[in-house]
Amino acid sequence: MTAPSDKALVPFVSVDLMMQLVHRVGLTEMIAAIAAAIEEDFRRWDAFDKTPRVAAHSPVGVIELMPTADDAHYAFKYVNGHPGNTRGGLQTVTAFGLLADMTTGYPLLLSEMTLLTALRTAAMSAVAARHLAPKGATTMAMIGNGAQAEFQSVAMQGLCGITHVRLYDTDPKATEKCARNLAGTGLTVTACTTAEDALEGAQIVTTCTADKRNATILTDNMVGAGLHINAIGGDCPGKTELAEAVLHRSDIFVEYPPQTRVEGEIQQLAPDHPVTELWQVIAGHAQGRRSADQITLFDSVGFAIEDFSALRVVRDKAVETGLHIPLDLLADPDDPRDLYGMLSRAAPAS
Ligand code: NAD
């Protein structure tokens, strides 16, 4: 039996290797590298093929495929969202994805993306907050203290200068877990018993709850002038976090309108309600925050270009550090047209 040639081996970053990579690079540094790649890719927005993600819904969750490509590379992510999973000891969100070469169509990287999604979602929130949050913001309310929460907090600390996070979750155990994990990061952490309490003195609020319904995490009276909201958890039809009245008082920034109009908070609004595409702000074509008392809302749903950016960072870092496994994923017949003949390599010796 002959081994596949090196050119046919695909670098694979497993969950274990992703954890090692995060430690090798540093958590904040990794999020910062992904944030920089997202900004770079958002600035060349028109270079990408874009499509809303393709979703398969069930009564308990969703499975989504998120593809995009530029002239050089193609990427997709497979991701699920099952809010009931944690009751059975499973993650709400798991993911894996692939980066490929547009010239040959050959994969360049296969990677776990559960951790990577948490990193890129945190990076994306920080990018949005850098353009939209009030200047000098130091305190963030973090509502929903599940899998994403610590990553969001660390990103806001490292990239936006947040020094204090105020935690709230309907499940006090989630808040305890989050506070425990954030001890030693240098953040001042306050565990709160209501969402209203969490918002006390906060200039930024991040909502990151998981519930497959139109929830009201932020009511109108909770949102004061000047607040920046990163609304992350509402990311499916029928799954939102904000009272509609909050949306009418906010300037709304989105990733890709054709996807956000279906999946984001703005599914509650008329289809022509004005929104600003965040890439326009990053590229300098539109204004972010204009005044100290403006309420800004980043209606985050997660878009394929963010995963593309994250995958290209991981590909570079995995190659640089050697933290990848060569995966025998592609056929490599001696004669490219003799796929049938390749079968003989595995024929049992008679
Ligand atoms: P998770 O299940 O680990 O955590 C969610 C937390 O929300 C849980 O601790 C739960 O107790 C809490 N919660 C539920 N209802 C609440 C309420 N009314 N008030 C306060 N807390 C409440 O999930 P996760 O992986 O942290 O993801 C959170 C959400 O973010 C999910 O809905 C997921 O789909 C979404 N998400 C969005 C993006 C994006 O790019 N926008 C990326 C990743 C995840």
- Residue 169, domain member (yes or no): yes
Residues 157 and 101 in one domain: no
Q: In CATH, what number is assigned to the domain containing residue 195?
A: 3.40.50.720
Residue 197 bears catalytic tag: no
- Residue 348, domain member (yes or no): no
| Residue range 58-91, pLDDT digits in tens | 999 999 999 999 999 999 999 999 999 999 999 9
What is the number of the ligand 1 atom nearest to the C-alpha of 145? 9
Helix ranges restricted to H, the chain: 15-25, 27-43, 114-132, 149-160, 172-182, 195-199, 244-249, 257-263, 278-282, 304-321, 339-342
Residues 45 and 178 in one domain: no
| Token pair recorded at residue 208 | 């990151």
Residues 85 and 141 in one domain: no
What is the number of the ligand 1 atom nearest to the C-alpha of 232? 41
Residues 214 and 79 in one domain: no
| Token pair recorded at residue 260 | 């956000």
Residues 298 and 310 in one domain: no
pLDDT tens series, the chain, 350 aa: 445 567 689 999 999 999 999 999 999 999 999 999 999 999 999 999 999 999 999 999 999 999 999 999 999 999 999 999 999 999 999 999 999 999 999 999 999 999 999 999 999 999 999 999 999 999 999 999 999 999 999 999 999 999 999 999 999 999 999 999 999 999 999 999 999 999 999 999 999 999 878 999 999 999 999 999 999 999 999 999 999 999 999 999 999 999 999 999 999 999 999 999 999 999 999 999 999 999 999 999 999 999 999 999 999 999 999 999 999 999 999 999 999 999 999 999 87
pLDDT at 224: 97
- Residue 37, domain member (yes or no): yes
Residues 284 and 329 in one domain: no
Residues 222 and 88 in one domain: no
Q: Residue with the nearest Cα to atom 7 of ligand 1? A: 209
Closest CA to 296 of 260, 231, 252, 266: 252
pLDDT at 5: 65
Using most ligand atoms within 8 A of CB, pick from 62, 173, 219, 232 the residue to mutate for ligand 1: 232
DSSP state letters, 79-130: EEE-TTGGGGT--S--EEEEEEETTT--EEEEEE-HHHHHHHHHHHHHHHHH
- Residue 124, domain member (yes or no): no
Give yes or no for residue 152 CB within 6 A of ligand 1.
no
Q: Residue with the nearest Cα to atom 24 of ligand 1? A: 147
Closest CA to 77 of 110, 50, 108, 44: 110
Residues 227 and 177 in one domain: yes
Residues 244 and 329 in one domain: no
Q: Residue with the nearest Cα to atom 1 of ligand 1? A: 146
- Residue 26, domain member (yes or no): yes
Q: How many domains does the chain have?
A: 2
Residues 297 and 316 in one domain: no
- Residue 120, domain member (yes or no): no
Find all residues with CB under 8 Å of 167, minimum gap 6, and list them. Answer: 142, 145, 149, 175, 178, 179, 189, 190, 191, 192, 198
Residues 146 and 290 in one domain: yes
- Residue 128, domain member (yes or no): no
Q: In CATH, what number is assigned to the domain containing residue 72?
A: 3.30.1780.10
- Residue 81, domain member (yes or no): yes
pLDDT at 19: 98
| Residue range 300-317, pLDDT digits in tens | 999 999 999 999 999 999
Give yes or no for residue 134 CB within 6 A of ligand 1.
no
Closest CA to 132 of 303, 302, 309, 281: 281
Residues 205 and 285 in one domain: yes
| Token pair recorded at residue 193 | 């018993």
| Residue range 187-232, pLDDT digits in tens | 999 999 999 999 999 999 999 999 878 999 999 999 999 999 999 9
| Token pair recorded at residue 66 | 């998120």
Give yes or no for residue 300 CB within 6 A of ligand 1.
yes
Expressed as residue numbers, the domain containing 272 is 134-302
